[in-house]
Structure 1
Amino acid sequence: MSELRVGLIGAGGISRVHADAWRALGARGTVTSLAGAEAIAAEYGMSVAPDVPTLLAEVDVVDIVTPSSTHAAFALAAIEAGVHVVCEKPLAATAAEAQRIVEAADDAGVRLFPAHVVRYFPEYAHIKARIDAGEIGEVATQRFFRMGSAPAAPWFFQESSGGGVIRDLMIHDIDQALWFAGPAVSVYAVQNPPTVDDVVPSPVTAQVVLTHAGGAISHLQATWVSPGLPFRTSVEVSGDLGRLAYSSADDSSLRLDALPSAATDYMPPMSPADSPYFREIADFMTALGQGIDARVTGADGVAAVAIAEAAYASIASGHPIALPEVSR
């Protein structure tokens, strides 16, 4: 493929790790944003476009790193312009919007990549590989924990327009739960303190229980805590032959507790120089160049949004929400 022309829409905090990945991969970048575009351009050697339509006319791929409520509109505009799309999570605020984006991309013959970056963290990728290799047998239960400082921008706390701790933070582990154990058929969720008048409180904790089509049960907890507290994440996947566990609070190694017949080799820690954001963008570029699927598909983006949407419906109703069963 000749030099790829990439357009970055947005110049917030997440834009820098995306811009760094594109630069490392040799793409020629253009950025547009309501604020901060000049700083990103100067830092990463990009040009500046005055607006989105101008940017779309100049690029092959658009990378959407804007507030969640804007993702769907920007993705649809790019698809209409015949431009391939990388979009930060969540793909949209609702599953119906997300599905519309997928169908529009299919109809237009352009590639769509929801940027679910945790699939590219080595620890989680190794867990997936070991599950697929049958090392812990049939997955029975999963536990996910994710805790980080509450974001500063007000839009994160507007639940109806795409904010909230589930859509922003927990959606990473929602995607992992589905990746490891397959589609879910039931979602039950609680949040404390509750959202009031569409404003999400902070600090706040949400817990979600997924029942998967294959019978596995996933327990997910996500917490926005006070600024300054360290980020923490952990995962534990148990099957009938063993257990896989990782916790960022301990170290960066993956441990496998299994029956004697299973492999027990040590998994090395992730190199700080090998960014998962680089890995995900590189995977998309490979998929684009070779005409193959990336590790994350449009359908994966829709599925994660559908779980988040059902979780909020469960919180509102106080009852589990049934989902349409799909083939594994």
Structure 2
Amino acid sequence: MKPLKIGMIGLSHGHAYSYMHEMSSLTETVLVGIADEEPVRGKDAADKYGVPYYSDYGDLLASEADAVVICSTNARHAELVKAAAAAGKHVLCEKPLGIDREEMREMIEACRAGGVELMTAFPCRYLSSVVQAKEAIDRGEIGDILAMKGTNRGKMPGGWFTDRERSGGGAVLDHTVHVADLMSWFLGNAEATEVYAQIGTLFHEVDIDDAGMLHFRFDNGVFGVLDPSWSRPAAFPTWGDVTLEIVGTKGVISIDAFSQKNEVYGGQSGTHWDYWGDNMDRLMIRDFARSIIRGIPVPISGEDGERAASIALMAYESAALGRPVSSGQR
């Protein structure tokens, strides 16, 4: 079985560097080129992996690549996904899938029309605690789910993430989508029908939201509560967390997705957490490649990405209006 030839478009998101490392080491993938708008950054990465650098992503799309991974700023996702679809390239797109509902639908339709797969990068689905929780839920071990409470609290990333023109939103968009996707997945791809949110800037001197509290109702009646924030200080031992408490009619499941860690104490460097658990990025990239090679649908679709991002977008609408927003009113 030949490995999937993948090009990287955009190095703006930090996840790009982890994805490139995994693509260069997996037997199922081979990195064949890097396109980035910043020449120094792009050339340095291309030299490291011994692949061509493209200043114009169109030249990469015209290359031998079978697929591309997109890690640009959020505002460019739609442009790049649609261009890749037109070139016949399968796509793995960094989250959030998009910053506008209409553009996300256009991305999904472009890939459908181009006969290519569109996968949203939600690597948290590959963490052991998450996988085991999903299996327990599907076996009915906690009965019917009644409610879920989650957190995604991290450090403030800075840079273009705080520029609304390029990011589309702050912590609420950045950190809602991972946990919202898990909640929807646990419920069999349920849709949020109502969202109420309080959003603010509480922890940093930035002109964008760094905190929020979201309450939402799914179409099957289940309630969700989520704290997505950039509330961790620079000295915090790790970048953040992903937690979930799932309440059912017969029991409760608690998830601390990154609890597989050692506490390391080191002189001038202070304390940090050394994570030893699952390499979620590696598992996600491998799953994407195997799906394309085998000719089967990708496990995390563009629709999954739209579903999760829409919760964040509804949250911004709710906060602006000061009341709950329902999907029927959009």
Place the TM-score, normalised by the shorter chain, in its bin. 0.7 to 0.9
Q: What whole-Å deviation, never above 9, does each CA across 1:84-121 have from its counterpart, x for those lacking one?
A: 11100011111211111111111110111111111112
Letter in 2 for 1:189: A
Query: Could you tell me which amino acid in structure 1 is paired with residue 291 of structure 2?
Result: A
Segment of structure 1 superposing worse, 110-119 or 37-46: 37-46
Q: Between Structure 1 and Structure 2, how many residues are aligned?
A: 303
Match of 2:245 in 1: 236
Name the structure 2 match of 1:137. Answer: 143
Structure 1 gaps, min length 5: 254-270
Counterpart position of 1:85: 91
Q: Give the Å deviation of 1:22.
A: 0.9
Partner of 1:313: 317
* Letter in structure 2 aligned against 1:153: G
2:242 counterpart SS class: strand
Q: Distance in 2 between matches of 1:14 and 1:147?
A: 17
Q: 1:55 aligns with which of 51, 60, 63?
A: 60
Per-residue deviation, 1:80: 1.0
Deviations 1:19-41 (A, max 9, x none): 01211224132001122112212
Q: Which residue of 1 aligns with 2:156?
A: 150
Shift in Å, 1:228: 3.0
Q: How does 1:251-270 map to 2 (within 5 A)?
A: 251-252=259-260
Normalising by structure 1, we get a TM-score of: 0.86
Contact in 1 for aligned 2:75/2:166 (Cα 8 Å): no
Is 2:129–2:256's contact at 8 Å kept on the other side of the alignment? no
1:273–1:320 CA distance, 2 compared to 1 (3 A): closer
Match of 2:77 among 71, 77, 91: 71
Which position in structure 2 is the counterpart of 1:45? 50
Cα 1:159–1:211 change in 2 (3 A) is farther
The 3 A distance-change label for structure 1 pair 159 and 32 is closer
Q: What pairs with 1:279-298 in structure 2 (closer than 5 Å)? A: 279-298=283-302
What amino acid sits opposite 1:190 in the alignment?
Q
Once the two structures are TM-superposed, the CA of residue 233 in structure 1 deviates from its matched residue by 2.6
Which residue identity does 2:197 align to in structure 1?
A: A
Q: Is the 8 A contact 1:98 1:305 kept in 2?
A: no
What SS does structure 1 have at the residue aligned with 2:306? helix
CA RMSD in angstroms comes to 2.3
Tell me, in whole angstroms, the C-alpha distance in 2 between the residues paired with 1:162 and 1:67: 9
- The within-5 A match list for 1:99-178 is 99-158=105-164, 162-178=168-184
TM-score (norm 2): 0.85
Farther-moved stretch of structure 1 (154-163 vs 100-109): 154-163
Q: What is residue 264 of structure 1 aligned with on the other side?
A: none
For 2:272, the equivalent position in structure 1 comes to none
Offset, 1:317: 0.5
Distance across 2 between alignment mates of 1:290 and 1:232: 34
2:5 is matched with 5
| Equivalence for 1:30 | 33
What is aligned with 1:15? 16
* Structure 1 partner of 2:305: 301
Q: Distance in 1 between matches of 2:88 and 2:152?
A: 37
* Matched-pair contact (CA < 8 Å) for 1:156–1:162: no
Residue 256 of structure 1: aligned partner: none
Residue 66 of structure 1, CA deviation = 0.9
Contact 1:186 1:323 survives alignment (8 Å): yes
**SS in structure 1 at match of 2:198:** strand
- Give 1:199's aligned amino acid: D
Percent of aligned positions with the same letter in both sequences? 28
- Aligned residue number for residue 267 of structure 1: none
Distance 1:145 1:273, change over 3 A: closer
Alignment of 1:277 with 2:281, yes or no, is: yes
Give the superposition deviation at 1:11: 2.2
Q: Name the SS for the 1:90 alignment partner.
A: coil
CA contact (8 A) 1:95 1:303 kept: no
- AA at the equivalent of 1:50: S
Q: State the 4+ residue runs in structure 1 displaced beyond 4 angstroms.
A: none
Confirm or deny: 8 A CA contact 2:46 2:52 kept in the other structure: yes
Given that residues 117 and 298 in structure 2 are in contact (C-alpha distance below 8 angstroms), is that contact kept between their aligned partners in structure 1? no
> What is the deviation of 1:272?
3.2
Partners of 1:11 and 1:66 within 8 A in 2: yes
Structure-1 residue corresponding to 2:265:
none
| 1:273 Cα deviation from its structure 2 partner | 6.9
Contact residue 101 and residue 306 of structure 2 kept, 8 A = yes
For 1:262-282, what per-residue CA distance to the aligned partner results, in whole angstroms no more than 9, with x for missing partners?
Answer: xxxxxxxxx837411111111
Correspondence 1:190 to 2:198: yes
Amino acid at match of 1:142: M
**SS of equivalent residue, structure 1 residue 127:** helix
